Structure 1
Amino acid sequence: MKLSFSKNGQAMPEKTVELPQSAFEKIEGTEVYWLGNASILINSRGTIILIDPILDSFDMPLLIDMPIKSSEIPKVDALLISHIDNDHLSFETLNNIKAVTQEFHAPAHVADVMIEEGFETQEHAVGNVFKVNDITIKTTPTRHNWQNQMPKYQYREWKEEEYVGYWLETPDGSIWLPSDSQLLQSHLEMPQPDMILFDFSDNDWHITYEGAIKEANTYPEADLLCIHWGSIDAATWNTFNGNPADLVNDVVNPKRVHALNVGGSLTLKRKQQN
């Protein structure tokens, strides 16, 4: 694990790796790319899934460079949005890839907002199952409706079902994005995933660090691809300032902790017990 540190001591990736056009071509297995913060690209045998992509106009200062210009993305089979927060949903990025994206998927309310912005979006309740080519995707529950506690956002009721995670069954194994969420009991009762897109933010509206360790050790064989760290310049903001090196001391089988460079990838490997 190679890390760098900001001038304020925030752990961050060593560098950004430029994402090549070959990342979108047909391949034999499944590669999972970290695009910074919570943005993920999955290439499963040529099927391209983007999750919460933000490659343009972050409204917060960044520690990283983007691995690709959104306008250079050649194809997207399905784009998944987990929730409406501005570090997960960028309409500038979506507009730049709209012409090459086959499908848009989002939970309640988020889908309505996306439709209003001109994106034909399929809405999914928690527990819904849908397919993208040979990938089966199921939405999983989260609890992240923090806006209800903030007077600025109390112009509506923010419902728990407007935030989802995603479970993806690919030909090469399972990938689970619990997404931004408090730890739920159901998060400890999932099938054994092969890879977790792992938020370990020590924040009360995220999983908390203690909760992250509990989740990780419930699934001791799953690869942990760290997200939601080292990207936004916020050394005093626990939502974004986790250090993946801490996980090595606390999780079972620490070699499965992966702190990628931005633009780096991890090969999905099916675990034998599955």
Structure 2
Amino acid sequence: MLTLTVALKAQTTQENTGENNIVIKKYQAKAPPTQFFGAEAFKPTNQTVIRWLGMGGFFINSRGTTMMFDPVLEGFDMPVMIEFPITPKEIPHLDAILISHADNDHFSLPTNKDLLPVTKAFHSTIYVDSLMTNEGFPSFGHIIGGKFRFGNIKVRLTPADHAYQNAYPGMSKRHFKNEDACGFWIDTPDGSIWAQGDSRLMNEHLQMKTPDAILFDFSDSEWHFTFEGALKIANAYPNTPLLLSHWGSVDAPDFAPFNADPEKLKAQVVNPERVFVLAPGEPYVLKRLVK
């Protein structure tokens, strides 16, 4: 598991006003106030409900089949600007946890260790599975394009380009491969969800069938889609709701991976009303697009 503080710490900038030097913190878009939820959100329903957990994480309850994607609910090693909408001890059960890659803002050992007693299975890439196996998790590793299912949900791993570690000598002794990270295509009884994970833009990302919702990796970092890449993906699926993540959570105004402004996306994207700036914990009901 990789920590991100080795890359950069948040800083402030100084503005000289003449007589006084005033320290001004750079503007950073922040998520709306948290909407807390509890065990009631895990009960069976007649629909599929998605909740952003903050950071890059989501909780999905699809007619009683429950899962989390990249949950970080505690123990992160940088200051955060949000309250997490639920604590691990409040979670009654999960059919699965899906992990996109090994960075600790997606693969949180403190969170996953505390969720271990209530989670049936963990799924990820072959590499991340090896890390989870070493921790004693009931985990399964899959190749890109690999498929699995649990409850009423079918999942397929989608490709990612996020082997940034190789670009920074000394950051890791291991040579990373693109297939060490992934996204997930999630088919539910109420529609399809593309959980993108972290990635630079790939041609494959523009050539998928149309999802009914995208758990949208929204970040200005060159090792993510970037703003221009996010626009390309959004406009490739012009009617798909975009549930923004990876923004507005970590107090790091000078650290590009955690910074992006939803208002800028709304100003340029096709059909801006489909950009959902959810509060952590706010429910979103999945609906099939009219084809």
Shorter-chain TM-score: which interval?
A: over 0.9
The structure having more radius of gyration, on CA atoms, is: 2
Alignment of 1:66-77 (within 5 A): 66-77=84-95
Alignment of 1:17-28 (within 5 A): 17-28=35-46
Q: Give the one of 197, 206, 219 matched to 2:215.
A: 197
Per the alignment, in what secondary structure is the counterpart of residue 105 of structure 2? coil
Q: Give the one of 117, 129, 140 matched to 1:99.
A: 117
Deviation at 1:238, TM superposition (A): 1.6
Q: How many residues align?
A: 268
Q: Give the one of 56, 59, 64 matched to 1:41.
A: 59
Could you say which residue in structure 2 is the equivalent of 1:62?
80
- Which whole-Å deviations, capped at 9, do the CAs of 1:158-208 have from their partners, x for residues lacking one? 111010000001000000012110000000000000100111212111001
2:181 matched to 1:170? Answer: no
Could you say which residue in structure 2 is the equivalent of 1:119?
137
TM-score by length of 2: 0.90
- Which whole-Å deviations, capped at 9, do the CAs of 1:242-267 have from their partners, x for residues lacking one? 11111111111110000111111211
Q: Give the one of 203, 210, 217 matched to 1:185.
A: 203
Could you say which residue in structure 1 is the equivalent of 2:261?
243
Per the alignment, in what secondary structure is the counterpart of residue 92 of structure 2? coil
- Which whole-Å deviations, capped at 9, do the CAs of 1:120-142 have from their partners, x for residues lacking one? 21001000011111111000000
Could you tell me which amino acid in structure 2 is paired with residue 225 of structure 1? L
Could you say which residue in structure 1 is the equivalent of 2:8?
none
Partners in 2 of 1:8 and 1:153 — Cα distance?
A: 27
Per the alignment, in what secondary structure is the counterpart of residue 92 of structure 1? helix
- Which whole-Å deviations, capped at 9, do the CAs of 1:69-94 have from their partners, x for residues lacking one? 11110000011000000100111111
State the superposition RMSD in angstroms.
1.2
Partners in 1 of 2:26 and 2:35 — Cα distance?
A: 23
Q: Give the one of 224, 227, 240 matched to 2:242.
A: 224
Per the alignment, in what secondary structure is the counterpart of residue 111 of structure 1? helix
Could you say which residue in structure 1 is the equivalent of 2:169?
151
Deviation at 1:7, TM superposition (A): 5.7
Could you tell me which amino acid in structure 1 is paired with residue 120 of structure 2? Q
Per the alignment, in what secondary structure is the counterpart of residue 35 of structure 1? strand
Partners in 2 of 1:240 and 1:215 — Cα distance?
A: 19
Deviation at 1:150, TM superposition (A): 1.5
Partners in 2 of 1:127 and 1:153 — Cα distance?
A: 29
Partners in 2 of 1:250 and 1:182 — Cα distance?
A: 20
Partners in 2 of 1:152 and 1:241 — Cα distance?
A: 25
Deviation at 1:108, TM superposition (A): 1.6
Partners in 1 of 2:113 and 2:172 — Cα distance?
A: 28
Could you tell me which amino acid in structure 1 is paired with residue 43 of structure 2? E
Could you say which residue in structure 2 is the equivalent of 1:257?
275
Structure 1 unpaired stretches of 5+: 1-5
Per the alignment, in what secondary structure is the counterpart of residue 258 of structure 2? coil
2:91 matched to 1:109? Answer: no
Could you tell me which amino acid in structure 2 is paired with residue 138 of structure 1? R
Structure 2 unpaired stretches of 5+: 1-23
Could you tell me which amino acid in structure 2 is paired with residue 177 of structure 1? A
Could you say which residue in structure 2 is the equivalent of 1:234?
252
Deviation at 1:98, TM superposition (A): 0.7
